[in-house]
Structures are given as C-alpha cells and as structure tokens.
Amino acid sequence: MSSDDDSDKIFKALADRRRRAILDALKDEPKTTGQLVALFPEIDRCTVMQHMKVLEAAGLIVARKEGRERWNHLNALPIKSIHDRWIGDYARNAVSLMSRLETEIGA
C-alpha cells in the first residue's frame, strides 16, 4: 500500500468527530471495548465498533485480546507522520512568511 493510501485512511478516520473522541479517550491509557462503548451512550455498540474498525484500519488504534476483553491502545505514530508530512511543512512556511512580513513592515 502506498504512503498516499495510508494518509487517505488516516485523514478519513480523523474526519469524524466521534472517531476523534475515541482517540481522545485512549490518549492517556488503553481501554476495553466495553469501556469505550460506555463513554458514548448516545450511540449504540455497533456504531462504536464500526468507528473503531475504521480507526484500526488506519493504524490509529491497536487492539489486543486479553481473555474475554479486547484492550484498545492509541497508536500516535500515524498522526505524527501526518504532522511531519503536512502540518510541519506548512507551519514552517507560515512562520517564514510572517517573519518576512514583519521585516518588510518594520523596515
């Protein structure tokens, strides 16, 4: 699979507010699927599971089965790769542009 395909999956996964909320819930510690479902009482278990499937396909969560429980862990590396590839470059360019503008205005 190409890097562009991977990026597309990550952006698609991050595009939904509920999936971002699931990632936020996993930010500090892993949680079981049941714990995640309980955090979103406004949607049913199947919908939470579908969101988790998209996140897992994008590599944003990693699931580990332990007995009868499935523990879900945040994998922040794909987010970092998006930052490094897209956000970091654009932020550097924006800072450079602002610096040039300040120099021109101040001169």
Judging by beta carbons within 10 Å of its beta carbon (0-12, 13-18, 19+), is residue 46 exposed, middle or buried?
Answer: exposed
Rounded to the nearest 5°, which phi and psi values hold at 30?
A: -65, 155
Residue 84 has pLDDT above 60, yes or no: yes
The pLDDT assigned to 30 comes to: 98
The pLDDT assigned to 86 comes to: 78
- Reported as a pLDDT band with limits 50, 70 and 90, residue 2 is low
Question: Which one is predicted more confidently, 26 or 90?
Answer: 26
pTM over 0.75: yes
| Among candidate residues 83, 89, 72, 86, the one with its CA nearest the CA of residue 31 | 72
pLDDT in tens, 28-68: 999 999 999 999 999 999 999 999 999 999 999 999 999 99
101 token code pair: 């503008």
Domains of the chain, start order = 3-76 (1.10.10.10)
Residue at 104: amino acid letter: E
